[in-house]
Structure 1
Amino acid sequence: MAAEGCEEMSGNGELGESPDMEASEVPAPPPMEMAEVSEENGGTATAPDAPVDPDPTSFPMPPAAEDEEGEMPADFERLWKVAHDNPQDFTSWTDLLQYCEQESHVTASRRSLEAFLVRYPLCYGYWKKFADLERRAGFNDKAEEVCIQGLQAIPLSVDLWIHYINLLLGTLNMNLPESPQKIRSVFENAIAAAGLDFHSDRLWDLYVEWEKEQGNMKNATAVLDRALTVPTQLYNTHYDKFKEHLNNHEPKEVLSPEEYEELRTLCRQSQKAERAEQAQEKDEERPPGEEEPATPEGTDSEELMQKIREQVLARRDKVYQDNEGEVRKRWNFEDAIKRPYFHVKPLDRIQLRAWHSYLDWEVAQLHSNAADATQSEYAQEPNQATTEESEVTSQPRVESEDAAAVARDDHRVRILFERCLIACALYEEFWIRYVQYLEPQSVDEARAVYRRACEIHLAYKPNIHMQWATFEERHGDLTEARRVLEALEKIVPGLVVVRLRRAALERRAGQLEQSEALLREAVAESKEKPTLHAFYSIKLARLLLKLSRNPSRARSVLQEALEISPDNDKLHLNLLELEVSGDPWASAEAVQECVTRALAAPLAPHTKILLSQRGLQFTEDYSDSIQSVLSVYEGHQKLLKELGGTKRGAENGDEDSEKLSKSEDGSAVAASAQVPPTMPHVPITTPPPPMMGADMSTQAGYGAYSSWYQQPQYGSYGYQNTWNYNQGYYPPS
């Protein structure tokens, strides 16, 4: 899309380096030889108000105006369909937006921008384009609404805040008394939301200059004082501007009345002391009763003004030095971040590690400072009994300062997380990490982060959705957990792990019938996919057998599945284990029927041998007739001969038993029979394979369905995260 002014626009509408920040203005890193300063972030800074809630789901798009331009452009419908058929294709959206802009069609552009920004709300460049579109069309109110919506979605965008403020400056009637109040309020909201960003210098500078234009020099000083406590890239320029501001105006004009009177009194006393000392040195004596001429009321000498300025700078210099120390700590972390804005292009691993390292450090700083504050509090407790009343009364103030410092550090950690989630919005690891940080403090805030991640940025990432569902279940909100999983199944249909997770949720909630219904529905819907149908059938049969205690229904499920997939060895094995696990006297006929059915099915030879061996073992263990045992044994020996190979060697144990302990899909099965050569006519079998009570999805050849747990079309950006059914219940530690 066309560039706005001299600003360069990247492929996703993000602004490049601002023309306001020339290369010469970027300062060098703080000097490393500077003396170490306090580890408390921000020195004497106070924590700003809470930032604007960055919840894009909380705002609606403005209603589209009536189409006053007739029909849509010729290629609009084609490009619109391409974008909506594949909403994850960022290029199709930018092609649509570029076409609408080239056609200068307001309605088409508005419609496209609304749909695009719902899916990609972090592209602040397109919010600016949308606001400019409405303003050029004469809809100033709508332009302001667009800016507000954009700032709700991305409150850390300094560029968008400046764009919004400039819009107000260009549209409001500044002669009205409420206009300056509104702009000042917007400035305060901007500082609260984005003022701690490392690249927020332009916002601070704009605020200071606006206050000067309004003639509010004291307000400008207060803003500069706040800027001096914030670690930013151009931190040193704020101190230079403060000096210039102080030198260009009388101290009384720029300082608060309290500070000015305090410093004026201090400097006047200092002047008197100096003059008295000078008079004593020169042995100057005044006539009795004559005093030093008093300074006329309301006037101060230039010498006094200079002393006041020196005192002001002396106080600010300590703040500046502390802030420089904080900048120095963060400089290397900030320098390692090459793309702080959102883009759909993957970040390399170096960039991802840089964000992780920065977050590690900032969180460690918070914990260290909180531990220091706690230790200081404990150290003061033994002395409280012997302190005087004046010392006791000062204790709450010290505790309040410690609490404020911890709150300030916590706010900085949150700001860094929010910055990270702009650049790394498509990486679920950072969202999960943010949730882990917030959850001990506020479940609602953690839930809001899950909502932003799953409903906007990671709609097609199953893992974080399932972790959200687990989060809700763990905190007792089963209704929300169900909703999350149901919504995920609609977005990524056919993902087996989601259906299994839904069934497991209902089972844990005591809704066994609903759990069964979900699995039965999956069985019915997968009849066109025999392998998947068999997988769901086995899961359903195990539920019916182990939890519902209904082996007849479990048997029916497996038998119906065998009608569709007679060549599925896992179905045969599960059905056989079901029969073997029942009443041994009532199951003999059913066991042999299972073996007979399996031997007649198109199964692999080693699977048939395994099933025959299992039937032989059952007969040997539970049959009350030696004739029955011998009959089954002879049948097994005949099968071994028919399937070829040196079966006697296998029976003697000479052949590697592992060759018969692997099914076609590579999952472990029971070892083959071993018959001693000295007793060829007496069937002695090996210990039985796992019964139905074991996990059939991972034992006895019933596994190898891991491919159903991951669908490649729902891959992540940058690199794949291989995960299985058990992963995702709890976030990684």
Structure 2
Amino acid sequence: MNNPESTLKIRSVFESAVAAAGMDFHSDKLWEMYMDWEKEQGELKAVTAIYNRVISVPTQLYSHHFEKYKEHVMNNLPKDILTTDELLWMKSKVTTEAEEPSAEPEEEDAPPGDDAPPGVDIADQESEVSLLGESDREKARELLIAMQQEFYTLNEQQVSLRWNFEEGIKRPYFHVRPLERAQLKNWRDYLDFEIANGSHERVIVLFERCVIACALYEEFWIKYAKYLEGHSIDRTRNVFQRACGVHLPKKPNVHLHWAMFEEKQGNLEESRRIMRSFDEAVPGLAIVGLRRANLERRQGNLEEAESLLREVIRLNEGTPLASFYSSKLARQLVKVQKNLVRARKVLMEAIEKDPENSKLHLNLLELEFSSDVRQNEGNVLNCIERVLQSNLPTEIKIIFSQRRVEFLEDFGSSIQNLLTAYDEHQKLLKQVSTKKRAAENGPTEESQSKKAKDGSLTATTAATTATASSTAMMGGDMTNSQAAYNYGSWYQHYGAYAYQNPWNYNQYYSQS
């Protein structure tokens, strides 16, 4: 402390500390340490300045700070705790409110207004006392406290708004055990409140508190990054690096958000690196393979996009994922690259390896149907016939059979084909109704009339259900089909990586 630079350095450290954590609801100890240190240095004016700051900060011991401030004001002379400018202002305020005749001569004896601040010698105690008479000191103290009382009242309201949120934080530290739902909800609500009502500094401090207790929950890291994106690109990148590099190295959502962020900033190589590294660390996630291919497609690198999809098909050969990627590759070939022949070939090869995959047949039917139906009638019918001759469940066959009847009715060139298709469709419906009636009736003997009635109703219900299912899965020209693109069952559960929730594909590709 004999070094003259030590005081400045220590004060600089305190300022850095309160800038980083002074807005924390539990930062009272830090503020008290700062004020105690300034008192030790004999800098009472600096103590007053710190009180002026902390009284407006919503903290847990906000009332304690105000009480200490009042003691500080009452136990020290105004000349010791106020700067020269503040003393001059205080003298003018007190004498004006008092409306004393002696106030006017005192002002005339005072230094001129332009020369007053430089004319006051802080080292001269008699000059300081002359700025504020003995009789006005109590009034000055009352005025100082009254002025801070307004800020204290406003701060009290801010504390009351945050108190319940703070009470809901039962575990402010990190632990590997999952947090209770109530605490997670409390963090979400608290962050939303602070974003809507607080200052930027308070929002940052609260996010930093949150990602300590919720370090293993990627939703909070993503929320933090999205908030920062509108304020600082570098700080946003830093949040992603902390989340993906330290706390969540095997969580897909936050990595994909980071890759999208870098792509948005034009850092394509970094985006590629992020997804490639994660794909190597956690292989087999369908969404990562798709994102890598779609990045290349958006950049116009269609050959690279196709190559990536073919590579993941090869790596996942013999698994349901291979069929899923084949469907995606076929759609890219026909929709983006306008190559129907190659798209058909991809789906046909996938069906040969996975003949009982109804989604592959649906995608092939959509592909054939999307071309000129007048020239492609044979391919459409062959696609449906392939399903009807397969070992797929009867319910699936009914859907394709219903679709064949609709296709021949709308676009068919032969009435005989339409009638034949209709007859075969009725046979399928009858098979389903017979099975349902047998299951409903069981081994007990019931009246023939009731059986006939139930059978009729069952057949009607089956036909209605088949028609509705057909419409839902392949409605119209199938370009707006939702069920045909319902790939939820493709996404495996990744329990081996300790994921908290199954992968939700719809949050990235919402169905329209």
- TM-score (normalizing by structure 2): 0.74
- 1:342 is paired with a residue of what secondary structure? coil
Does residue 1:344 correspond to 2:176, yes or no?
Answer: yes
Q: Which residue is equivalent to 2:158?
A: 329
Instruction: Give 2:8's match in structure 1, choosing from 144, 160, 181.
Output: 181
CA contact (8 A) 1:231 1:324 kept: no
CA contact (8 A) 1:470 1:729 kept: no
Does residue 1:657 correspond to 2:463, yes or no?
Answer: yes
Deviation of 1:708 (Å): 0.3
Q: 1:546 to 1:362 in 2, by over 3 A?
A: closer
Deviation of 1:725 (Å): 2.5
Letter in 1 for 2:483: Q
Q: Which residue is equivalent to 2:39?
A: 212
CA contact (8 A) 2:429 2:463 kept: no
Deviation of 1:359 (Å): 3.9
Letter in 1 for 2:253: N
CA distance in 2 between partners of 1:242 and 1:623 (Å): 91
Does residue 1:703 correspond to 2:486, yes or no?
Answer: yes
Residues 196-595 of structure 1: pairs in structure 2 closer than 5 A: 196-246=23-73, 250-260=77-87, 263=90, 273=100, 300=129, 304-305=133-134, 307-308=136-137, 310-331=139-160, 332-333=163-164, 334-365=166-197, 409-474=199-264, 477-529=267-319, 531-584=320-373, 587=376, 590-591=379-380, 593-594=382-383
CA contact (8 A) 2:94 2:139 kept: no
Query: Deviation digits for residues 138-185 of structure 1, max 9, x if unmatched?
Result: xxxxxxxxxxxxxxxxxxxxxxxxxxxxxxxxxxxx332333322221
- 2:202 is paired with a residue of what secondary structure? helix
Letter in 1 for 2:391: P
Instruction: Give 1:669's match in structure 2, choosing from 470, 475, 479.
Output: 470
CA contact (8 A) 2:45 2:83 kept: yes
CA contact (8 A) 1:464 1:728 kept: no
CA distance in 2 between partners of 1:616 and 1:547 (Å): 30
CA distance in 2 between partners of 1:635 and 1:591 (Å): 19
The Cα RMSD (Å) is 4.4
CA distance in 1 between partners of 2:499 and 2:472 (Å): 40
CA contact (8 A) 1:231 1:326 kept: yes
Q: Which residue is equivalent to 1:170?
A: none
CA distance in 2 between partners of 1:216 and 1:689 (Å): 80
Letter in 2 for 1:699: A
Letter in 2 for 1:705: G
CA distance in 2 between partners of 1:230 and 1:652 (Å): 71
Query: Deviation digits for residues 411-441 of structure 1, max 9, x if unmatched?
Result: 3343334333433344444444444544444
Does residue 1:192 correspond to 2:19, yes or no?
Answer: yes
Q: 1:659 to 1:261 in 2, by over 3 A?
A: closer
Deviation of 1:443 (Å): 4.9
Q: Percent identity?
A: 44
Deviation of 1:187 (Å): 0.8
Q: 1:547 to 1:216 in 2, by over 3 A?
A: same
Residues 75-90 of structure 1: pairs in structure 2 closer than 5 A: none
Q: 1:262 to 1:716 in 2, by over 3 A?
A: same
Deviation of 1:540 (Å): 1.3
Deviation of 1:204 (Å): 1.4
Query: Deviation digits for residues 87-133 of structure 1, max 9, x if unmatched?
Result: xxxxxxxxxxxxxxxxxxxxxxxxxxxxxxxxxxxxxxxxxxxxxxx
CA distance in 2 between partners of 1:704 and 1:212 (Å): 68
Instruction: Give 1:602's match in structure 2, choosing from 374, 388, 391.
Output: 391
Question: Unmatched 5+ residue regions in structure 2?
Answer: 105-124, 436-454
CA distance in 2 between partners of 1:485 and 1:318 (Å): 57
CA contact (8 A) 1:544 1:553 kept: yes
Query: Deviation digits for residues 186-209 of structure 1, max 9, x if unmatched?
Result: 111001111122211211121122
CA contact (8 A) 1:558 1:575 kept: yes
Does residue 1:725 correspond to 2:509, yes or no?
Answer: no
Query: Deviation digits for residues 284-306 of structure 1, max 9, x if unmatched?
Result: xxxxxxxxxxxx965859x9457
CA distance in 1 between partners of 2:268 and 2:425 (Å): 56
CA distance in 1 between partners of 2:17 and 2:380 (Å): 75
CA distance in 1 between partners of 2:280 and 2:360 (Å): 29
CA distance in 2 between partners of 1:547 and 1:576 (Å): 18
CA contact (8 A) 2:59 2:159 kept: no
Letter in 2 for 1:330: V
Q: 1:644 to 1:410 in 2, by over 3 A?
A: closer
CA contact (8 A) 1:263 1:311 kept: yes
- 1:726 is paired with a residue of what secondary structure? helix
- 1:233 is paired with a residue of what secondary structure? coil
CA contact (8 A) 1:669 1:699 kept: no
- 1:466 is paired with a residue of what secondary structure? helix
Number of residue pairs matched by the alignment: 468
Deviation of 1:228 (Å): 3.0
CA contact (8 A) 1:526 1:533 kept: yes
Question: Unmatched 5+ residue regions in structure 1?
Answer: 1-173, 278-295, 367-408, 663-667, 673-687
CA contact (8 A) 2:293 2:306 kept: yes
CA distance in 2 between partners of 1:661 and 1:472 (Å): 47
CA contact (8 A) 2:66 2:152 kept: no
Deviation of 1:313 (Å): 4.8
- 1:654 is paired with a residue of what secondary structure? helix
CA contact (8 A) 1:616 1:633 kept: yes
CA contact (8 A) 1:461 1:715 kept: no
Letter in 1 for 2:2: N
CA contact (8 A) 1:616 1:636 kept: no
Query: Deviation digits for residues 6-43 of structure 1, max 9, x if unmatched?
Result: xxxxxxxxxxxxxxxxxxxxxxxxxxxxxxxxxxxxxx
CA distance in 2 between partners of 1:537 and 1:650 (Å): 42
Deviation of 1:519 (Å): 1.6
CA contact (8 A) 1:574 1:692 kept: no
Deviation of 1:455 (Å): 3.8
Letter in 2 for 1:308: R
Q: 1:329 to 1:584 in 2, by over 3 A?
A: closer
Q: With CA pairs under 8 Å and 6+ residues apart, which has the higher RCO, 1 or 2? A: 1
CA contact (8 A) 2:58 2:158 kept: no
Deviation of 1:594 (Å): 4.0
Letter in 2 for 1:199: H
Letter in 2 for 1:180: T
Letter in 2 for 1:570: K
Q: 1:312 to 1:714 in 2, by over 3 A?
A: farther
Letter in 2 for 1:497: I
- 2:507 is paired with a residue of what secondary structure? coil
